[in-house]
Amino acid sequence: MTSGQCLCGTVRFSLEAAPRTFYRCHCSLCRRQTGVGHNLATVVKAADFHWHAGASAISTWQKATGYRNDFCGQCGATVPNPLRGEPYVWVPLGLLDGPLDAECVGDYCTDDAMPWDQQRCASHHAAAPETLDALIQALAISP
């Protein structure tokens, strides 16, 4: 089991298993969401994700195109985001407690990356994953 929390600790959650893989997205939305060059996140099955505290403190901002940022209403940290209509939860990796042995399996939207944001793994893509399934497959999450 792996636990995680927001900056202030109001929002707490756990995962059944430590993620082994993550991805980075370099698009302008993820850049502004995080304040750095890219997000760094993974996806877990909804059945493997548990809220422990603070779920009611979560605020949501959604762009008309569908991009959504869920964040702690107390400290503003981006928090896990259940994918609407899909049995998965998006998890920002930096919220997890303790060391994690995980590997980057994809960089996305590299065409949108800032010139000062150079980090890439072996699998990098000019655009976003075509579908959620493509991302799930890249992350090697067993169904």
Q: How far is the CB of 38 from Zn ion (least distance, A)?
A: 8
Minimum Å gap between C-beta 111 and Zn ion is 12
Q: Specify the residue, 2 or 74, whose C-beta has the smaller distance to Zn ion.
A: 74
Query: 111 with 14: CB under 8 angstroms?
Result: no
Is 2 among the residues that bind Zn ion (CB under 5 A)? no
Return the residue of 27, 43, 96, 105 that touches Zn ion, per CB under 5 A.
27
Residue 8 in contact with Zn ion, rule: CB under 5 A? yes
Tokens 């995980």 belong to 102
**What 3 state SS string does 24-57 have?**
EECCHHHHHHHCCCCEEEEEEEHHHEEEEECHHH
Total of chain residues touching Zn ion, rule CB under 5 A: 9
